A and B are shown apart, each in its own frame.
Chain A
C-alpha cells in the first residue's frame, strides 16, 4: 500500500513537472538558506576559535577601572606583578589612534604604546630590524615598530627600517617591522604600529589637554585615568596560567581594595564571548532560514489544496472502486512529503555547491557543510511536509464519493 502510494505520488509529481518544481522552490530556497548560512557562521566560528586559541591561552589582559590617582599603577608596580607566582612577563598597553602620513597619502593607524615584553607575550616575530627596547622607553625615543601589513600598506614594502614615520605630525624612526601574521583578527581596518609606552603616554596627555584640535588628531583610549590603565600579563608557562591568574588577582585586590576597580580577561573569556556572539548569529540566521522554510511549506499546502480540488473527480473514482479514506490520505500526504524531500535534496546539493564556490572565492577561510544543520534541514522538511500535507490530504480523504464523482 505504502509503495503503491509512493508510486502514485511520484506519477502525480512527474505529470506536472513545472508546478512541482515551483512548489519545491520554496523548500529549496529555505533549505539552502538554512544550510548555507548556518554552515558559514559555524565555520567562521570554529576558525575564529582556532585563532583565539593560537594566540595563546597563557595570556591575560588587565584593565584598571579605578580613576583614583593614589592607587594608580606605575612601572614599578608592574615589576612587582612580573615577580608574582606563575607570572612570566608584564607589558603596559596604551592605545592611541591617529593618522600617519606618507607622501600625500594618509592612513588611519592604531598605535600601541608598550614595552619590549609585549612582543614576547603576543608571540610576534620580527621581519626586519628590532623590537622596542628598554632604552627607547628610558630615553623617550620617537621610534616605531610597524606591523607587517602596516608597512606593506604605507610604504609598499616591508624593509623600511630607518625610514621616517609621520604619525600625527610627529616624526618617528622605524626601527623594526614584525613578521607577517596569518590571523584573521583584523577587526578594524586600522593598521597597527608599536611605539614606546612613555611616548604613547605623552601623545595621549597632549591630546587630552589640547582637546581635539583638528580632524585626525590623536585621542587616548582612556582619557581621564592617570597611570597605567591597561597591561598584558603572560604566564611563565601555559600550565601556570591559573596560578598566575590567582596571584595576579590577589595582588590587584590587595592594591585596589575592591574587585570592581580592575578587570582581568584571558583568552578563554574572549573565546567564550566570541562563541556566544557567533551562536547568536547562527540562531538568528537559522531562524530567518527556518521562516523561509515555513513559507515554503505554506506554498506546498497551497498547491496541494489546488491539486486536491483539481483531482476531486479522480478521488471520487478511487473511492467508488474501493479506496478507503486512509489510502487517499496516504496518497496525498506522501505526495506532499515527496515534494518536500526532493526539494530538500536539491537544496542540500545546491548548498554544497554554494559552499564550494564560497570556499574558492574566500580562499583564506575553509568552510564546510555542517552535518547537524543538514540533518536539521531534512527533519524540518519532513515535519513541514507532514504539517502542511495533512490538511489537504484529510480534505481529499473526507470527500463524499458522490459529491466527488459529480464534480466537473
Chain B
C-alpha cells in the first residue's frame, strides 16, 4: 500500500478530569494514527476512554496533555471558531442516538451544516437533495425525525454528516440503538462510503461491528491495548475466537487476554501502521 497521508495523529494524548481531590485519567497517554481512506474502529468497554478519544478526535473536546494533529496541524492551536469550522467542514458526526433536531424536517436537519458553512440558498438545495438521495431518503425529506424509523433517522444523520463533504466521518456507536438488520444496513453504508474514499472511524463496544472494519484499535483503561489490521473477508470474526471480549465485564482480564492471544498481529501503541 502506498502511504496515504495521515489524517489523524494522536501523540501521547492525556485527558485528565479532576474529580474532587483525585484525578481521573480518561486517556492515559494514547497514541495512534489514522491514514486517509482507512476504515477503522475504536473498541473498548464502557469507561475505557473510547468516547473521550472520539470527542477529542472530533474536536468537541481538547486534550489535557499531548498533541492531536488533524491533517498534520495541532488542534490545540485552533480557537473556538476555527474548531467550529473544522467540525463543520472536515468532520462528519454520526451519533448513537442520531442527534437530529426534532422540530425540523429531515431536509432541514441536513441543510443545517450548510447554513453554518455559509453556503447560499440556491447551492444548498441540490446538495441537500444529493446527500439525502445518497442515503435513499429523498421522498421522506419532509418528515420530521419522529415520523421515521431509527434506521432512517440514522441514514439522515449520515446524510447530514456527508453534506459538507468532509473527508473524515466519525461514528460514535452508530448502530447502538438499531436492531441487527438495520445495523447491517448502516454498516454497509459506511463500508460503501469508505470505498468512495471517505476516512471512517467508528467507536463501538461491539466486536461484531469492529470486525467489519479494516482496522481495530482497542482501548483499555485510557491506553491503546491493541491495534490490528483486520481483513473481514479472510478471517473469522475475532469475537467468535474470544467470546470473553464481548462481555466487557472484566476489563483487566480482557486486556491481558487480548495482549497474549493476539500475539503477532498486535502492535503496540504509537507504532501503529508502518
Contact = CB atoms under 8 A, between A and B. Distances in A.
Q: Do A and B interact with each other, yes or no?
A: yes
Contacts of A402: 55, 60-61
Interface majority SS (helix, strand, loop, mixed), chain A: helix
Given A401-B60, A402-B55, A402-B61, A322 B87 contact: yes
Interface string A305-349: 000000001101111111111110000000000000000000000
Interface stretch (B110-118, B187-195, B212-220): B110-118
Contact of B81 (A1, A325, A401): A325
Contact of A324 (B84, B101, B164): B84
B60 A11 contact: no
Contacts of A366: none
Interface string B71-96: 00000000011001101110001010
Interface residues of A, number: 23
A4 interface: yes
Nearest to B104: A11
Contact of B101 (A314, A322, A400, A405): A314
A12 B95 CA distance: 24
B118 A320 contact: no
A322 B60 contact: no
A321 to B, nearest CB: 5
A224 interface: no
A189 interface: no
A313 B84 CA distance: 16
A323 B84 CA distance: 6
Given A15-B103, A401-B60, A327 B93 contact: no
Contacts of B103: 11-12, 15
A244 B140 CA distance: 90
Interface of A: 1, 4, 11-12, 15, 313-314, 316-327, 400-402, 405
15 contacts: A4-B115, A317-B99, A317-B101, A320-B87, A321-B88, A322-B117, A323-B84, A323-B88, A323-B116, A324-B84, A325-B80, A325-B81, A401-B87, A402-B60, A405-B60
| 4 closest cross-chain pairs (CB), A and B | A322-B88, A324-B84, A322-B116, A321-B113
